[in-house]
A and B are shown apart, each in its own frame.
Chain A
Amino acid sequence: MLGKIKWGIHPDTHKSPTEGKAIESNELPNRVILPVQQHIGAPSVPIVKKGDLVKKGQLLAEAKAPVSSNVHATISGKVVDVSDQPHPVLGKCQAIAIESDGADEWAEGVLIERDWQKLNPAEILEIIKEAGIVGLGGATFPTHIKLAPPSGSKVDTLIINAAECEPYLTADHRIMLEYTERVITGIQIIQKVLGVSNVIVGIEDNKMDAVKVMAHAAAGTGIKVAAVPTRYPQGAEKTLIKTLLKREVPSGKLPLSIGVVVQNVGTAVAICDAVRNGIPLIERVVTVSGGAIQEPKNLKLRIGTTFAEAIAQCGGLKSPAKKLIMGGPLMGAAQYTTDVPVIKGASGILAFAREEVNDGPESPCIRCGSCLDACPMGLNPSMLSILGERSFVEEAVNEYHLFDCMECGCCTYVCPAKRKIIHYIRYSKKMSAQKGGK
């Protein structure tokens, strides 16, 4: 289908420990921690206080700003704390802690059977907004905003991102195999909201079973299912669009500017649940894997379950973890404690044993150019790292297009000098933001 791919990397996928395992429904957590910020945008505002009794699906924190998202109770029980708690991405964040009463009761009026085909797009959008749905691929951008393109922009194609290019992660893979019908319904709902007929589901060709199942289920609906080459970062919006449509997103623009909206498969399931059954986003599928985990699994976890509890459900650690990561090994966020909660964007919990971590002293750039070949955005990571090392931020932004970098980590992966290129890039971005803010 394609010639030799010039960009990206092809690391060991490490998906075998979990790809054949069915999603396990979790034991009820005793306590959940629900940060008010689990999405891109402004934090939501808590509307409950310490001591309140809440039920599953009840609204806990309300989105007040235009770009924000609701947070719901994921178990029934008592609010025991509203305070700063550890957060896997932000470090610390205001959070609502609920202690379970064991009953796991639904709040009144949450579960509703609805015929989504009778709803109009505005009503569907309102339901998605109320349900607190955000992009579950990891970027956590509020879905109701992504599905409401500003007037004047035309959407001609909807891409469902099921590439799951990060090693170890198999959550989306299992979702397609087990929740096939909900995925298809979710896609049809999104189609109705956006009013597009051209839909492509992009799945990496290392998951041919999922391609077959999806293609079978999609027969007759007009939804196309495409197998795309297995190559990291195939699942990044911009690379997937390029592979499927041969269109390139211009620098500094969104896919919307070329008429494309991309949604993750997990998000489609959440949309289906919310619109058809009235269930807000209170749980997600998480892959718990890595060499230090006793028994890697795909778990369906309530949002707010701590990492410690999730790891315990997989038999705990078999050796001390050298590194603990939320998300995939290439783009995920390293954690220092297992007290952090699973948030809406947590696609995986990975604990790596000592021998799996490749660390070592970095040495100067030898100008071999490996990173230039690997960069999917066509940037020059070697120069970006050197400029970052010397704090030449302006040059990095203006001449080397720092902000086109999506921090996929290919450059750092291939670097023979073990340079921490992504760290230099993040540092430069931070410095640039600080200077701009002054």
Chain B
Amino acid sequence: MSAILTITVIMAGVGLFFGLVLAAANKKFAVEMNPLIHIVEDILPKGQCGACGFAGCAAYAEAVVLDPKVEPNLCIPGKKIIADEVARLTGKAAAEIEPRFAFVKCAEPITTAKKKYVYDGISDCAAAFILQNGPKVCEYGCIGLGNCVRACVFDAMVMNDQGLPVVNKDNCTGCGACATACPKGVIAMINPDAPVAIYCNSNEKGAQVRKNCKIACIGCGICAKQCPYDAIKMVNNLAVVDSSICLEKCTEIVCLAKCPTNAIKTYKVPPLEMTQAV
């Protein structure tokens, strides 16, 4: 009987001692942390995509709570709902957040495109890019080995049967990871409501472009002349649309009519069935 008692007392004593040490340490070495950081982190989407410019969701949460200069609308995947919520929690004004959507600026199917050579190397766009800018004759077009698809953390991209990446409307959050992964800069982030878009990325001169690809922008500038609102500018032999002007003013969409190669098209977010894996 006494053995049981002794053991109980000793164990209780040991437990009490360490309990007190831990309690004292917890008081003495406590780290002050704003509880708001955890609350903000909880509502962020946790894609860890880095579109905000911080190392991850936790880093952004800390920055937006502690630094008054960090805007509450930097989380692009979170869109307006999260921006408003973060603004409310941190007491900042939620600025407008422009919706963004990944857009592939090349429509020339890999399967039928003219090639310089048969690529036999490792299946990675950046690796193919080392070899004379990739196998396609057009040095600005999509290589089609899918670095963008692998970079997407939201499962929003697949390669279609033509070898080009397609963006899934429901999953794309606009984080831009695919655009960073593309060695040729074929992917742009645009407003999903934009009425028109240029389906070409080539800066080559007109005559050369025509030889390389039938559906490329040849830089003739007809679309720019047609547009009554100056929303289209010619940069390096390529038409560039400022979609904010289109959204604000344009109703008639006259730029499409005279394009000789149909490189400028009405912009449609690809329908869901196109983005099913092939």
A-to-B contact residues, CB < 8 Å = 91, 334, 336-337, 359, 362, 389, 420, 423-424, 426-427, 430-431
Contacts and interface: CB of A to CB of B under 8 A. Distances in A.
A91 B120 CA distance: 18
B130 A337 contact: no
A427 B130 contact: yes
Given A91-B132, A334-B117, 16 more contacts: A91-B133, A334-B131, A336-B132, A337-B116, A362-B122, A389-B122, A420-B121, A423-B122, A424-B122, A424-B127, A426-B127, A427-B122, A427-B130, A430-B126, A430-B130, A431-B126
A91 B133 CA distance: 8
Contact of A420 (B116, B122, B132): B122
Contact of B124 (A91, A336, A362, A427): A427
A239 to B, nearest CB: 25
A292 B130 CA distance: 27
B66 to A, nearest CB: 26
Question: Which of A334, A336, A430 has the largest count of B CB atoms less than 10 A from its CB?
Answer: A336
Nearest to B120: A359
Contacts of B132: 91, 336
B188 to A, nearest CB: 20
A419 B103 CA distance: 34
A206 to B, nearest CB: 31
Contacts of B130: 426-427, 430
How many B residues touch the partner, as a band?
10 to 19
Given A91-B132, A427-B126, A336 B120 contact: no
A336 B117 contact: yes
Contacts of A423: 121-122, 127
A336 B121 contact: no
What are the 3 tightest A-B residue pairs by CB atom distance, in nearest-first order?
Answer: A336-B117, A91-B132, A336-B116
Question: Which of B116, B117, B122 has the largest count of A CB atoms less than 10 A from its CB?
Answer: B122
Contacts of A426: 127, 130
Contacts of A91: 132-133
Contacts of A420: 121-122
Contacts of A424: 122, 127
A334 B117 CA distance: 10
A181 B130 CA distance: 42
Contacts of B127: 423-424, 426-427
A307 to B, nearest CB: 14
Interface in B189-236: none
A389 B131 CA distance: 17
Contacts of B117: 334, 336
27 contacts: A91-B132, A91-B133, A334-B117, A334-B131, A336-B116, A336-B117, A336-B132, A337-B116, A359-B120, A362-B122, A389-B122, A420-B121, A420-B122, A423-B121, A423-B122, A423-B127, A424-B122, A424-B127, A426-B127, A426-B130, A427-B122, A427-B124, A427-B126, A427-B127, A427-B130, A430-B126, A431-B126
Nearest to A91: B132
A337 B117 CA distance: 9
Contacts of B120: 359
Nearest to A430: B130
Contacts of B116: 336-337
Contacts of A431: 126
A182 B124 CA distance: 48
A255 to B, nearest CB: 27
Nearest to B137: A336
A306 B155 CA distance: 48
A426 B128 CA distance: 11
Contacts of A427: 122, 124, 126-127, 130
A337 B126 CA distance: 22
A178 to B, nearest CB: 35
Interface in B90-119: 116-117
Nearest to B117: A336
Nearest to A86: B132
Nearest to A434: B126
A337 B120 CA distance: 17
Contacts of A430: 126, 130
Contacts of B121: 420, 423
A214 B256 CA distance: 73
A336 B126 CA distance: 19
A427 B122 CA distance: 10
Contacts of A336: 116-117, 132
A303 B124 CA distance: 35
Interface string B114-153: 0011001110101100111100000000000000000000
B69 to A, nearest CB: 24
Question: Which of A337, A359, A423, A426 has the largest count of B CB atoms less than 10 A from its CB?
Answer: A423
Nearest to B115: A336
Contacts of B122: 362, 389, 420, 423-424, 427
Nearest to B150: A391
B266 to A, nearest CB: 35
Contacts of A362: 122
A194 to B, nearest CB: 36
Nearest to A88: B132
Nearest to B131: A334
A337 B135 CA distance: 12
Interface in B157-208: none
B231 to A, nearest CB: 32
A421 to B, nearest CB: 10
A359 B121 CA distance: 10
A431 B127 CA distance: 9
A427 to B, nearest CB: 4
